[in-house]
Amino acid sequence: MDFKHESVLLNETIEALNIKENGIYVDCTVGGAGHSIEILKRMGPNGRLVAIDQDEDALIAATDRLKEYKDQVYFIKCNYAYLGKILDSLSIDKVDGVLMDIGVSSYQLDEGERGFSYHKDSELDMRMDKEQDLTARYIVNNYTQEELESIFWNYGEEKWGMRIAEFILKEREEKEIVTTFDLVEIIKKAIPKKVRMEGKHPAKKVFQALRIEVNKELDVLETGINSAVDRLKEGGRLAVITFHSLEDRIVKNIFKELAKGCTCPPEFPVCVCNKVEKVKVINRKPIVPSEEELEKNNRSRSAKLRVCEKL
């Protein structure tokens, strides 16, 4: 297995985490371990890394790449939404930094059989955790038209979602929709030719929406951020890399809320809400890839990095 994944915003992320020599760090989506290995290089022999991924292939690749640091790394197959329970199981109370690199990896896109790519024909799958039950194939063949429309709009901002959902229902009355190319052909039929010729692949937004629904990515992101902040030491940092506007908006809003103190009306003589600032937002505007990185890795073009620090 060749798990190729170009780590996005690598230098910016490592700098933002402010690595301590004897710290404890968590990579919530270790993938090909590009970020993790740089974290470990900056730590001493007493530093520790918790490497989490729900994709077994990613963990196998990460274990191999980080083998010289094996005594410093805990490899955990799990969804990072359970970060608190993971740390409890390792008897770790607080950590110095957490990294979340959200979304699908280059390996998952390039490995056709995983069903993430609209460029390769395979069974509609899209599961990051291959042991879970819900797949993209089940969704397109069993969700109601209204549910499909909602997913395509809320998770893909696909303005042709209503028509695409309608075409999917008509197609599945005749036969089951099994492969990625089956779905691509339906999408192409649903979207007018003039619109299809305007630039981006016509299936891009629908595939994104299905992937998010299959893996419950937005729900996991919100839970994960709050769990990470709860387990950070004072001065510890959380760095989150996102790849589309929905994710970035969630991160921005949660950081903003966590950085907000008392919300009592100004006329109240004393605070009764008991709300205190939990974090300081390090970068008000997201950090984006440099021109040099964009030239080397086209897939980094939509990446955004936001960082907060525990108070």
Residues in binding site for S-adenosyl-L-methionine: 33-35, 53, 80, 101, 108
Please say whether the beta carbons of 152 and 165 come within 8 A.
yes
For residue 106 the two structure tokens come to: 């280059």
CA separation for the pair 286, 27 (Å, rounded) = 20
CA separation for the pair 243, 299 (Å, rounded) = 9
CA separation for the pair 22, 3 (Å, rounded) = 29
**Among positive and negative, which fits the CA dihedral 193, 199, 204, 209?**
negative
CA separation for the pair 308, 311 (Å, rounded) = 9
Residues making up the annotated binding site are 33-35, 53, 80, 101, 108
DSSP of 71-136, one letter per residue? GGEEEEES-GGGHHHHHHHTT---EEEEEEE-S--HHHHH-GGGS--SSS--BS---SSTTSS--H
